[in-house]
Homo-oligomer: A and B are copies of this chain.
Amino acid sequence: MTETSRRIAMIGLGSMGMGMARALLAAGHSVGGYDVTPAATATLATAGGHAAASPGAAAKGADIVVVVVVNAAQTETVLFGDNGLVPMLVAGSVVISCATMAPDAAKALAARCAEHGILYLDAPMSGGAVRAGTGELTFMASGTPEAFAAARPALDAMAGKVYELGDAAGIGASFKMVNQLLAGVHIAAACEAITFASKMGLDIAKVYEVITASAGNSWMFENRVPHILEGDYSPRSAVNIFTKDLGIVSDIGRAETFPLPIAASALQMFLMTAAAGMGRDDDASPARLIAQITGVNLPAAKAQ
């Protein structure tokens, strides 16, 4: 399949956004971008894109905008704040919103975009920076057929898999919430289990080998426990991401009168870890906190 080269704006150029920008460039698109950190914006220019001074400047002339910031508040700011991008877009352009946020927040942003004649694709993603750079992310997407159609050239370049989950914003966000509930619980459980194993005197490298071949395995256990075994708490994904995402899960539970005791325990574990000063460290850091509290041995943490 050949695609006509498009002008695409990328807002947010951290490891994920920069990877996605590279995938778009590799597919032959023209990419303008902006990040609040000037050095990140400059990196885009060296990669063959165009550095812009604001979200609005990046979006000028683009008909697809990809927003890869941390949360709903940042997304709102880049869309509608000072030098925001929505006023710079022509009607029929599409915003692909990738931040994890509450379903109601996604619905509200889509409605405000619609008032400006702008399409909105609720498109949270799964997959790390490596898969971002190779255009193999998974998107949990929902939106109108028109939004999907307008977003297609960018999705084709960025995604290994696009789940089309419904015709309105909020559904993609809801799927992502379910994923984050499980992911957060599984990381917390992995941290609890591996320190418990150490407390019982077990060889935790052997525990990793046995569990990853057994019914106790999870995607997160398999992916995160090596960070603990290597004592490497440099943030591939940070504790603060899970205080945020499990916080949103908790908010929904309270708003809907839906008890979530397992997710609540995991949220408390991440909050304790952040409170102990590790909020910006890797999300396997609850293991370090438990080890500190209980005095069990884990491989020494490397200097970051």
Which residues of chain B are near A177, meaning CB under 8 Å?
Answer: 196, 200
Contact B262 A215 (CB under 8 A): no
A74 within 8 A of B: no
- Please give the count of copies of this chain that the complex contains: 2
A181 within 8 A of B: yes
Please judge, given known A-B contacts A138-B213, A210-B175, A217-B219, whether A190 and B182 are in contact too, CB under 8 Å: yes
- A185, A252, A290: most-surrounded residue (chain B CB, <10 A): A185
- A180, A199, A214, A261: most-surrounded residue (chain B CB, <10 A): A214
Query: Of B126, B174, B294, which is within 8 A of A200 by CB?
Result: B174
The CA-CA distance from A258 to B210 in the complex, in Å, is 22
Contact B216 A165 (CB under 8 A): no
Beta-carbon nearest neighbor of A182 in chain B: B216
Contact A189 B192 (CB under 8 A): no
A178 within 8 A of B: yes
Which residues of chain B are near A175, meaning CB under 8 Å?
Answer: 197, 202, 206-207, 210
Which residues of chain B are near A249, meaning CB under 8 Å?
Answer: 196
Which residues of chain B are near A253, meaning CB under 8 Å?
Answer: 196
Contact A126 B294 (CB under 8 A): no
Give the interface SS of chain A, mostly helix, strand, loop or mixed: helix
Contact A261 B268 (CB under 8 A): yes
Beta-carbon nearest neighbor of A256 in chain B: B199
Which residues of chain B are near A233, meaning CB under 8 Å?
Answer: none
Contact B261 A192 (CB under 8 A): yes
Q: How far is the CB of A150 from chain B (nearest CB, A)?
A: 23
A171 within 8 A of B: yes
Query: Of B196, B262, B293, which is within 8 A of A260 by CB?
Result: B196
Query: Can you list 8 residue pairs at the A/B interface with Cβ under 8 Å?
Result: A178-B211, A181-B196, A185-B185, A185-B186, A189-B262, A192-B261, A217-B219, A259-B290
12 further interface pairs, Cβ-Cβ under 8 Å (given A180-B216, A259-B294, A262-B269): A126-B214, A126-B215, A178-B193, A179-B214, A181-B189, A181-B196, A182-B221, A185-B262, A189-B262, A192-B261, A199-B256, A261-B268
Q: Which residues of A contact B (CB under 8 A)?
A: 103, 126-127, 138, 140, 161, 163, 165, 171, 174-175, 177-183, 185-186, 188-190, 192-197, 199-202, 206-207, 209-211, 213-221, 223, 249, 252-253, 256-266, 268-269, 290, 293-294, 296
